[in-house]
Amino acid sequence: MSLINLLHECISRGQEMTQAIAIAQFGDDSPEARRITRRWGITEVADLIGVSPQAIRDAEKNGRLPPPDFELRGRVERRAGYTIDQISHMRSIFGNPNQRPADKNPAVLAVMSHKGGVYKTSSAVHEAQWLALQGHRVLLIEGNDPQGTASMYHGYVPDLHIHAEDTLLPFLPW
C-alpha cells in the first residue's frame, strides 16, 4: 500500500469513527441534532428580553403571544419553560432593546494573543453565544484556526460537515 493510500485510509477511518461517536452521543451526526434543547424559566426569559414575568403572562393571556407549553411533573402540570425560538419570537413582540439601529455600523470585536493555547477561540465562542442570548445578531468568523475549533463548538465537524465552498475560500483573491 502506498503512503497516499495509507493516508486516505486513515482519513476515512477517522471520519467513520467521528460519525460513530456523534451517532452514539446524539443519535445523529448532523449539526441539527446538537441544537439547543434547553428551556428557560419565565423569570430568566423576562430578564433576557427586558420585561417583567407578568408582562409575558399578560401577553399570553391576551393572545399577543401563543399559550405557554406545559409538561406533566408527577401529577402536576407546570410550565415547560421557553425554547430559544420562543424567546426570539417574544423579542419580536416586545421589541429588542439590544437590536442595533439600522443607521449604525455593527460593533467588531476581536480576541487576539500572539501565544497559542490561551483560550482565544473559547473566549470568542462564549462571548458570541452570550451576546446571541442577549438578543444581539452575531457573526462569528473563524479566521485562521486550522483545527476548526469554533465550528466544533457549534456542532460542526469540519472534515464531515464543512466543504471549501462553505467557507471564505471562494471569495479570496488568489
Annotate 5-32 with b (16+ C-beta within 10 A) or e (fewer). eeeeeeeeeeeeeeeeebeeeeeebebe
Q: Residue 154 is placed in which grid cell? A: 457549534
Q: What is the pLDDT of residue 96?
A: 86
Q: What is the per-residue pLDDT across 3-58, written as a single tens digit (0 to 9) for each?
A: 999 999 998 898 888 778 777 877 776 767 767 788 999 999 999 999 999 999 99
Please tell me which residue, 135 or 97, carries the higher pLDDT value: 135
Please tell me which residue, 157 or 86, carries the higher pLDDT value: 86
Question: Where exactly are the structural domains of the chain?
Answer: 42-94
Q: What is the per-residue pLDDT across 64-101, written as a single tens digit (0 to 9) for each?
A: 999 999 999 899 999 999 999 999 999 999 998 888 88
Q: What is the pLDDT of residue 117?
A: 82
Q: What is the pLDDT of residue 56?
A: 98
- Which of 169, 118, 160, 117 has the alpha carbon at shortest distance from 142? 169
pLDDT-derived band at 116, boundaries 50, 70, 90: confident
Q: What is the pLDDT of residue 165?
A: 87
Whole-model pTM: value is 0.74
Q: What is the pLDDT of residue 37?
A: 81
DSSP secondary structure string for all residues of 14-56: HHHHHHHHHHHHHSS-SGGGG-----B-HHHHHHHHTS-HHHH
Q: Are 70 and 80 in contact (CB under 8 A)?
A: yes
Please tell me which residue, 160 or 61, carries the higher pLDDT value: 61
